[in-house]
Amino acid sequence: MDISLPARVITYLGPIPLTDGQLGAILVSLFTILFFVLSARRFSLVPTRMQLVLEFVHDYIMEQLENAFHSKKRANAFFPLFMTLLIFILVSNQFALMPLVFEIMTSGGDVFRQPTSDLTNTLALSLVIFLICHFMAFKISPLKHLSNFFNVMPLLRARSVGAVFSAGIEFFIGLLNIIGEFAKIVSLAARLFGNVFAGNVMVAVIMSLSFYTQFLAPLPFIVLSTFSGLVQSFVFMLLAIQFVALSIDGATPAQDEQISQESLEVGSSNIAVGA
């Protein structure tokens, strides 16, 4: 495994360059599609082992979605997206453990590369989340959604100097939210990329230290990077759910009291359970 930050162009499909990261992503997609088609053919009332695992993952994601969206219908509608995200990132983070795939070479380097250790792939994933956030919010209420960023209503309603001042601050905070939206893209993408790439770099550095550190010494670091890949795939999905839920909540016209009351009830039941 060689260390290079930009993806390496393998071939050209017409005018489009095909990089090693994209080839890796295609391989991971094919692998997961094949796996799920094969395992979904034999679903039955009495579950097989694989079905049990998949149902466990399904229940976990549905629980997270229902907690975030407060609606079973919307959770059902969003479920396929987040399941796909989780499975794709999970498989591609553990892709480095796959035997023989990284032995395929052309002149100059490997043909395949871990999809998540290529910044363009993780940027694409986080752009998808960003677009879905804003598309859903616009679909629910365009004006309410825009007023989160260009908050002119308090400025129009202001009747005194103090009110104008605080309305100006609110308007400025709205402008800062625009920067925050773009920071979301960068932070989602850079977090996943940084963790996976740093794991690869760490293993490569340990292996290239000396002749004796090539065989057993990198093992704990491989375990560490595998574990952090596992955690990061769940973190990416959970953060994506939170971002989508946040922007939908921001565009939904005032039902805040009901939601806060619900969360209060949940909190008090927690306390009751704890006591």
Check binding of 239 to another protein (CB under 8 A): yes
The answer to whether residues 190 and 197 touch, using CB atoms and an 8 Å cutoff, is no
User: What residue has token string 């039902």?
Assistant: 255
Check binding of 204 to another protein (CB under 8 A): no
* SS3 at position 13: strand
The pattern of x and - marking residues 160 through 189 that bind another protein according to CB under 8 A reads ---------------------------x--
The answer to whether residues 85 and 240 touch, using CB atoms and an 8 Å cutoff, is yes
Locate 256 and state its tokens.
Answer: 């805040």
Stretch touching another protein by CB under 8 A, among 83-91, 148-156, 164-172, 190-198: 190-198
Quickly list H helices, 70-147. Answer: 72-93, 119-140, 142-146
Beta strands in 185-235 (DSSP E): none
- Compare residues 206 and 239 and give the one whose CB is closer to another protein: 239
- Compare residues 153 and 224 and give the one whose CB is closer to another protein: 224
- Compare residues 93 and 151 and give the one whose CB is closer to another protein: 93
Q: Identify the H or E element spanning 10.
A: strand 9-13
Stretch touching another protein by CB under 8 A, among 152-160, 214-222, 229-237, 256-264: 229-237
Question: Which residues of the shown chain bind another protein in the complex (CB under 8 A)?
Answer: 3-6, 187, 190-191, 193-195, 197-198, 201, 231-232, 234-235, 238-239, 242, 270, 273-274
